[in-house]
Amino acid sequence: MTGHIPRIKNMTCKRRSRIPVPSAVPRGDLLTRATWGLLAAIFAASLILAATARADDRKTRLVTFLSSGLKTAATAQSSAFDVSSYTEGQIFIDVTAEVGVSTLDITIQSSPDNVTWYIHTTVGQISATGQTRAAVTNFGNYLRINYTVGGTSFTFSVVGVFKN
């Protein structure tokens, strides 16, 4: 048989019938579980990052509107302070001494432009030593304290703590 190349018959492959392959978790369930696992991991990570971000990103500022001192019967204002980058605050009034029968009226004033002033919060009239607190939100760009001492005199200070 020289020079003779045997001819291969044209054979077709028979397809095997599809037999389901048993698995511990069906494919659809595996994908669903993987998705839920990923979502749970993302949620847990966001909680951890949010707790860290809140502590680091919230900035506070202490503002001394009026330092402690004797104020006699008069009406006056503190300097104005730019608080435009803050969203809320606490105003602390510390009355350490009163002479005679006196009254202290304090008004927190707000301004959008440091020129025109509006009453933001009126603190209840103070007639004795002690501490008073007022929360402030939704204020303009600037804040100041307006006070009126009626009677003889008071020794007091006013500070604010603001946070964004």
Q: Is the model's pLDDT at 9 over the cut of 90?
A: no
Written as one string, the DSSP assignment of the chain is -TT--PPPP---PPPPPP-PPP-SS-HHHHHHHHHHHHHHHHHHHHHHHHHHHHHHH--EEEEEEEEEEEEEEEEEE---EE-TT-SEEEEEEEEEEEESS-EEEEEEEEESSSSS-EEEEEEEEE-SSEEEEEEEES--SEEEEEEEEEEEEEEEEEEEEEE-
Q: What is the pLDDT of residues 110-152, one digit of tens each?
A: 999 999 999 999 999 999 999 999 999 998 899 999 999 999 9
Name, in order, each residue with C-beta under 8 angstroms of 124's C-beta and a sequence gap of 6 or more. Answer: 132
Q: Is the model's pLDDT at 31 over the cut of 90?
A: no
Beta bridge partners of 63: 160
Residue 119: closest CA among 98, 134, 103, 132: 134
Q: What is the pLDDT of residues 80-108, one digit of tens each?
A: 999 999 999 999 999 999 998 999 999 99
pTM, to two decimals: 0.65
Helices (H), the chain: 27-57
